[in-house]
Structure 1
Amino acid sequence: MHQYLGSIFAVLLFILSGCAAQKEPESLYYQAETTKPYEDVLAELELAITEQNFRITGHNKIGSVIRDRENISFPDYDTIQFCNLTLAREMLEISPESVIHMPCNVAVRSQNGKVIVTTHLLPTRSPNPRMNEFARKMNEKLKQIVDFAVED
């Protein structure tokens, strides 16, 4: 009987340790929503981006351009691109292939009476520990920008 219980315990321990060793998938996006007016969210985003010492490099007003061009009712969709050259240089010196993540980007959309703001996050599980640390710090800045824009 003791051997039987010991075997069951060993199997359970093996299964549990296997589950514990599995990593959760890394989130590549951060998203938040609000019921604030769309234009207010855009204004708050622009303010938050500049407050974090980034410069806006592009703003695509996709939804309004489709509405105007096709003269139809179409929801709001915008993307805002931004960059900080000092941080960009630091990131590229650490990991030149990280250029794929530039510039930073925030997408805004109107859906079901809410405004949803989403940003790309930098991967934090690369083989490069310096890049992972940089990415964690940058992701916090990106999350703060999104949170500020949706805050009531």
Structure 2
Amino acid sequence: MRLLFGSIIALLPIILPGCAAQKESEFLYYQAETTKPYEDVLAELELAITERNFRITGHNKIGSVIRERENIRFPDYDTIQFCNLTLAREMLDISPESVIYMPCNVAVRSENGKVVVTTHLLPTRSSNPKMNEFARKMNEKLKQIVDFSVED
């Protein structure tokens, strides 16, 4: 038992850096909130998406569907998916495995009297410099969409 425990302790300096590196590859998020009415935030979000040449590919009205199905009070939750095929092609030409990040997604929720808008950001610390540059530019677009939707 002591030998096993000692072996594990000896391996920690090797194992832990791998865990830390794995954490860096997790999704990053950008979030903003407002006291504007929920429906206004959704309308502004859709406007911000289309004004930046993205097409909305899906809108899931999770909160309202739960309210209707179960006939209960339930907060608002929505997700909106969107894509720009020109940008999608550029990203996939640079990094085919980046398909996992498609389509872009924004989540909207009511929480404590506020509306919270959150989006996934693309990782910018990969081993592919071209993809990192693309991700930085794309992340700015995503942040602008979120910010526009919550502005007064």
TM-score (norm 2): 0.83
The answer to whether residue 58 in structure 2 is matched with residue 68 in structure 1 is no
How far, CA to CA, are the matches of 1:30 and 1:51 in structure 2? 20
How far, CA to CA, are the matches of 2:69 and 2:45 in structure 1? 26
Partner of 1:124: 124
How far, CA to CA, are the matches of 1:51 and 1:148 in structure 2? 11
The answer to whether residue 36 in structure 2 is matched with residue 36 in structure 1 is yes
The answer to whether residue 142 in structure 2 is matched with residue 142 in structure 1 is yes
- The total of aligned residue pairs comes to 131
Partner of 1:91: 91
CA-based RMSD of the aligned residues comes to 1.7
How far, CA to CA, are the matches of 1:28 and 1:136 in structure 2? 12
Q: Deviations over 1:47-88 (max 9, x none)?
A: 000011100000000000000000000000000000000000
Larger radius of gyration: 1
Query: Which sections of structure 2, spanning at least 5 residues, go unmatched?
Result: 1-23
The one-letter code of the counterpart of 1:150 is V
Partner of 2:107: 107
Runs of 4+ in 1 over 3 A off after TM superposition: none
- Once the 2 structures are TM-superposed, how far is the Cα of residue 107 of structure 1 from its aligned partner? 0.0
Query: Which sections of structure 1, spanning at least 5 residues, go unmatched?
Result: 1-24
Q: Percent identity?
A: 90
Partner of 2:56: 56
TM-score (norm 1): 0.83
